[in-house]
Structure 1
Amino acid sequence: MQSSQSKQWDIFCKVIDNHGDLGVCWRLARQLAALGERVRLWIDDAAALGWMAPEARTGRDGVEVIDWLDAASLRAAVAGPAPDVLVEAFGCDPAPELIARFAEGPGLAWINLEYLSAEPYVERLHGLPSPVFKWPGSGLTKHFFYPGFTPATGGLLREPDLMERRTAFDRAQWLAARQIPWREGERLVSLFCYEPAALANLLERLAASGQPTRLLVTAGRAAQAVRAQQGSAPVPDDRGALSISYLPYLTQPDFDHLLWSCDLNFVRGEDSLVRALWAGAPLVWQIYPQDDDAHHEKLNAWLDWIGAPPSLRLFHHAWNGFGNAPLPEPEMQGPWLQTALQARARLLAQDDLVTQLREFVTQKS
């Protein structure tokens, strides 16, 4: 239910990676709406919401999804009430007409929601103003809002009931409902990745292991990469101690359930990294590669923050193509598990991103 104090939030998202930027913006929009805020999510390509969040079609979640490229929608928004809060996700530059309309209204806050990083600059830049000197927003001030892993940052997206749902989750029931042929004693590993060069090494290690493992491969690039290694194998595929199940595209709740079900999670990008942290299981992160190798520093900063033991750090370096060392043996208990649980505990002691974002907007009002 919307209160009389609710604000109109306009969130802008240009889709570069359907799973990442859109995933973050949809979670943000839904969480704001659940707290009584009025939310419009402007997207230039909403196709992935069809499988990621099919409820977006109905509008019952309180989020109005608008095609950024639709001229009629743009004219209607300009003619209607100005938003109170403008959230520019990942520096995506909203349409000039919408910035001009925002400038005509209350203009409580213009937020540049930045990319996630554990690097030290995040704490220095979080919350800083950026005056706008030209174009429709001239005279206004943007503020940088950095998600992050420490109390000096904007925190991470986390629904208020997330840990309660995590605790109540029934792995066997979910696997049976998804028709995943899991057997007691079989380790479960999820794979959501790009095309890591070390993938063949991982498959070989799991296949040669003394313990049965079922690899749950997400749809899209991960499935294509595994099939390229396996050839035109039927689904599921069996190879030594390794069994492979290829999954359909999953909704956001079911992606969480996948992570909660597994003993080890391979994730990529930003949104899935955060969800894997909340899962509390050992995880391996494939960071988005950059031409100038800036991702090396970004990954090492995160490994420092998480307190990665040597074996986990070596595995991350090999998985992300730093050097030519082979993958160490993946661990699903012991130090890797303790590291994940300790990291989650530290994060749970901090305010989540939406709580901090609403407080920030209130302070700027």
Structure 2
Amino acid sequence: MIPNSIDIFCDVIDNYGDIGVVYRFSKEIKNLYPKARVRVILNKLDELTRINPFAQKINHQNINGVLYIYEEFFKKNFSQYGVSDIIIEAFGCNIFDEYIEVAKKQSKLWINLEYLSGEEWVEDFHLNESIIDSKTLKKIFYMPGFSEKSGGILMDTEFLENKDYSKSHKEEVLRQYFPYLDFTNKRVGTVFSYEKNFDNLLETLNNQEEETFLILMGEKTQKSFEKFFEKNSTEDYINLKKYGKIYLYNAKFFSQEEYDSIISAVDFNFTRGEDSIVRAILVGKPFLWHIYLQDEKFHMVKLRAFLDRFRESVSLDDKENEVMDRYFKLLEDYNDRETNSFEKGKEDYQVFFQEFDTIKRICEKYSQFLIENCNLTKKLYKYIKEI
């Protein structure tokens, strides 16, 4: 099947996570199907204008060849817009009834694009068909995951092409975004988190031989560090603080493309959410993931499933396996919480910095495995082609 038109529906709920994934996804779908009409129907526009500087709060706009349409406007003008060959329902959002009724007669494929998960059950559920009352429209569940048998992870061509340049031009890239900061002879990392106590991290970094520069991204991250500085004195330079051997900079909000360049250029990344963690893994740098909090600590089940997929995907020697065990314990301790709070945690960051080079090798191996075997849009393209 070669589609002439594709509609992607997205309800923006979790800040920039859902729209972030859909933005990348639609851009890559357009890259794979350059002749097809690709539309994204959104219930909110504020977040889109933040992640792309060219986006506006208007009912209908073209960004990178993709049409972005405000959902209420789309509904009111549905007779003019009509349906598409392929419908992609992102993360279980509700597509309005009138659209579905027409799609059952005119559309060919309805894809329920689910959230990313490392749990094994997604492999069995991936590409399962959902029975609907239509003779022509087929609905399937597409399950992103960290294994070859799953739907894979989202990696857009632009990101893959640009990340290697940023990795090999660290000083140039950082100077572009932070022209007044001096990163010379410092280990540089980004921190993007939910509310969290970072006392243990700052203590560990001040015991390292080299100086560290932390780029703090997002309001929740910056407030988390402010809690520490309410009790500890620092040298202050507008948005820059110095605490012992540590420099901390409150960064502005960056577009997705800018964020991609920065995390590719720095030495390590602490990040959160689905979209950002995928980028952090793919750049092949040491990372920590602050996974989204869920009731009854179900996020720990998801984290351990991810770690299982990670472990089975890389071939390591005895030394690397020993370091991986300690690294994974840090990842678990970093996330073991019942609420997002500023309560001091039990995580010990020493392994992350003492075994930094080994962890980097492990992360590079994992990145290469995912790039070679788990490209979501390439897997989806192959599936559609064979229908």
Same fold (TM over 0.5): yes
Instruction: Indicate the SS of the match to 1:88.
Output: strand
Partner of 2:279: 275
Instruction: Indicate the SS of the match to 1:293.
Output: helix
Q: 1:249-291 CA deviation, whole Å, 9 max, x = no partner?
A: 1111111112112211111111011101111100111111111
Partner of 1:254: 258
Q: Which amino acid aligns with 2:156?
A: E
**1:321 aligned to which of 323, 336, 351:** 336
Query: Are 2:116 and 1:93 equivalent residues in the alignment?
Result: no
Partner of 2:205: 206
Rounded to whole Å, the distance in 2 between the matches of 1:350 and 1:128 is 21
Q: Which amino acid aligns with 1:341?
A: E
**1:62 aligned to which of 62, 65, 68:** 65
Rounded to whole Å, the distance in 2 between the matches of 1:187 and 1:279 is 16
State the shift of 1:161 in Å: 4.8
Contact 2:162 2:261 in 1 (8 A): no
Partner of 2:22: 25
State the shift of 1:6 in Å: 4.6
5 Å-filtered alignment, 1:118-267, equals: 118-132=118-132, 140-169=137-166, 170-179=169-178, 181-197=181-197, 199-231=198-230, 234-267=238-271
Contact 1:191 1:217 in 2 (8 A): yes
Partner of 1:291: 295
Query: Are 2:41 and 1:73 equivalent residues in the alignment?
Result: no
Could you list the runs of 5+ residues in structure 2 that have no partner in the other structure? 312-320, 339-344
Instruction: Indicate the SS of the match to 1:55.
Output: coil
Contact 2:216 2:251 in 1 (8 A): yes
Partner of 2:375: 352
Q: Which amino acid aligns with 1:122?
A: V
> Larger helix proportion, structure 1 or 2?
2
Q: Which amino acid aligns with 2:204?
A: R
Instruction: Indicate the SS of the match to 2:68.
Output: strand
Partner of 2:50: 51
Change (3 A) 1:265 1:124: same
Rounded to whole Å, the distance in 1 between the matches of 2:25 and 2:10 is 11
Query: Are 2:312 and 1:312 equivalent residues in the alignment?
Result: no
- Structure 1 stretch displaced more, 202-211 or 147-156: 202-211
- Structure 1 stretch displaced more, 112-121 or 330-339: 330-339
Change (3 A) 1:42 1:359: same
Rounded to whole Å, the distance in 2 between the matches of 1:207 and 1:40 is 50
Could you list the runs of 5+ residues in structure 1 that have no partner in the other structure? none
Q: 1:310-365 CA deviation, whole Å, 9 max, x = no partner?
A: 2211211221125963323123723311111110111122152112212222333x
Rounded to whole Å, the distance in 2 between the matches of 1:220 and 1:9 is 35
State the shift of 1:55 in Å: 3.0
Change (3 A) 1:357 1:56: farther
State the shift of 1:140 in Å: 5.0
Change (3 A) 1:208 1:172: same
Change (3 A) 1:221 1:325: closer
Q: Which amino acid aligns with 1:153?
A: S
Contact 1:306 1:339 in 2 (8 A): no
Change (3 A) 1:229 1:102: farther
Contact 2:74 2:81 in 1 (8 A): no
Q: Which amino acid aligns with 2:366?
A: A
Q: Which amino acid aligns with 1:220?
A: E
Number of residue equivalences: 354
State the shift of 1:206 in Å: 1.9
Q: 1:173-220 CA deviation, whole Å, 9 max, x = no partner?
A: 1211222513321000101110124x2221222234321000001122
